[in-house]
Amino acid sequence: MRILLFGKTGQLGWELNRTLAPFGDIYAFGPNDLDLVDVDALTNSIRDLRPDLIVNASAYTAVDRAEQETELAMLLNEKVPMIMAEEARKLNAPFIHYSTDYVFDGTKTSAYTEDDQTNPLNVYGQSKLKGEQAIGQVGGAYAILRTSWVYSLRGDGFVSKVLSWARKQETLKIVTDQVGSPTWARMLAEVTSAMVARSYPDSWGYFLEKSGVYHLGGAGSVSRFDFTRAILDLDPRPEEQKVKGLEAALTADFPTPAIRPLTTTLDCSRFTRAFGLILPNWKDTLRLALEN
């Protein structure tokens, strides 16, 4: 199987580059290999490589900057995935793409299902929603996996930041009113690869029958505040912590250019019914992520 992976330097793409390796030849692109802003080069690369599967972990993910760089966010999160979907369809290659809980406004008090009304509050969420819609219009065999609160221990995602703050500050001020489903990039990559394994031998037919949007975040939900507490409790080197306590705050205490949805727990049961797979509970996964 020839797999074309975009976003190999990102949190998720880095993991996918490893978990997809057993399936065949991977052609993995990061921004240094191909700037996706150059959509002609993108189209030509796909046509040259003629992959059997395209996995897109690339995205414009700078939520606050997107409020200013609207055009760039729309290009990378709407037009680029649309081109990938079109080229994939022409090749009879399934297309796996990721979207976000930020397509919702975060006002629902129970978990969001795929049938719930979208209403993004910021440009990033709007651009990702437009990407979903564009892929849906193209059709073909595709899976759009809406995920949330993705973290990796590489780079400076939320978990790494908390561990770093805990070594420098005595008090951490963390919001209590943002609630979501933390998702370890490695586990999301593992589940994606398990889907690919299940799709053999007729991957096109398998994904064609299941084409659609699926929620896929770590099971359960937690506030940023309690997530932080869990990170500190599971810190593999607690003796290095300087932090003495957590101070509860509200999102309104930290004004940002982009408005964030508050409660975006994802109901992932449609994914489990379709693919027979789960993303385990966020806390069990965090424990695995932090275990030495």
Ligand X SMILES: NC(=O)c1ccc[n+]([C@@H]2O[C@H](COP(=O)([O-])OP(=O)(O)OC[C@H]3O[C@@H](n4cnc5c(N)ncnc54)[C@H](OP(=O)(O)O)[C@@H]3O)[C@@H](O)[C@H]2O)c1
Least separation in angstroms between residue 98's CB and ligand X is 4
> Quick check: helix, strand or coil at residue 61?
coil
Under the criterion CB under 6 A, does residue 148 sit at the interface with ligand X? yes
120 phi and psi angles, rounded to 5 deg: -65, 140
> 233-242 long-range contacts, Cβ below 8 Å, gap at least 24?
234/286, 234/287, 234/290, 235/163, 235/166, 235/290, 236/290, 236/291, 236/292, 240/167, 241/166, 241/167, 242/166, 242/167, 242/168, 242/169, 242/170
Least separation in angstroms between residue 79's CB and ligand X is 11
Cα angle value 151/155/158 (rounded, 5°):
40
Task: Please give the residues from 60 up to 99 whose contact with ligand X meets the rule CB under 6 A.
Answer: 60-61, 76, 98
Q: Is residue 128 within 8 Å of residue 82, measured between CB atoms?
A: no
The single residue among 20, 26, 28, 57 that binds ligand X, judged by CB under 6 A, is 57
Minimum CB distance to ligand X smaller for 150 or for 290: 150
The single residue among 9, 43, 176, 211 that binds ligand X, judged by CB under 6 A, is 9
Under the criterion CB under 6 A, does residue 289 sit at the interface with ligand X? no
Q: What DSSP element (H or E) covers 173?
A: strand 171-175
Least separation in angstroms between residue 111's CB and ligand X is 15
Least separation in angstroms between residue 195's CB and ligand X is 15
Applying CB under 6 A, the span of 83-91, 148-156, 225-233, 236-244 interacting with ligand X comes to: 148-156
Least separation in angstroms between residue 99's CB and ligand X is 6
Under the criterion CB under 6 A, does residue 43 sit at the interface with ligand X? no
CA-wise closest residue to 251 among 128, 73, 122: 122
Instruction: Please list, in sequence order, all residues whose beta carbon lies within 8 angstroms of the beta carbon of residue 156, skipping any fewer than 6 positions away.
Output: 164
Least separation in angstroms between residue 198's CB and ligand X is 21
Point out the catalytic residue in the list 124, 151, 206, 214: 124
Applying CB under 6 A, the span of 33-41, 132-140, 193-201, 232-240 interacting with ligand X comes to: 33-41
Under the criterion CB under 6 A, does residue 10 sit at the interface with ligand X? yes
Return the residue nearest ligand X (CB atom).
10
Six token digits for residue 113: 């299902």
The single residue among 30, 136, 212, 280 that binds ligand X, judged by CB under 6 A, is 30
> For the window 104-143, what string marks contact with ligand X as x by the rule CB under 6 A?
------------------------x---------------
214 flagged as catalytic: no
Taking each helix axis from N to C terminus, what angle separates 80-90 and 123-138, rounded to the nearest 10 degrees?
20
Instruction: Please list, in sequence order, all residues whose beta carbon lies within 8 angstroms of the beta carbon of residue 61, skipping any fewer than 6 positions away.
Output: 10, 124
Provide the binding-site residues for ligand X, judged by CB under 6 A.
Answer: 7, 9-13, 30-31, 35-37, 57-61, 76, 98, 100-101, 128, 147-150
Question: Any idea which residues carry the catalytic annotation?
Answer: 124
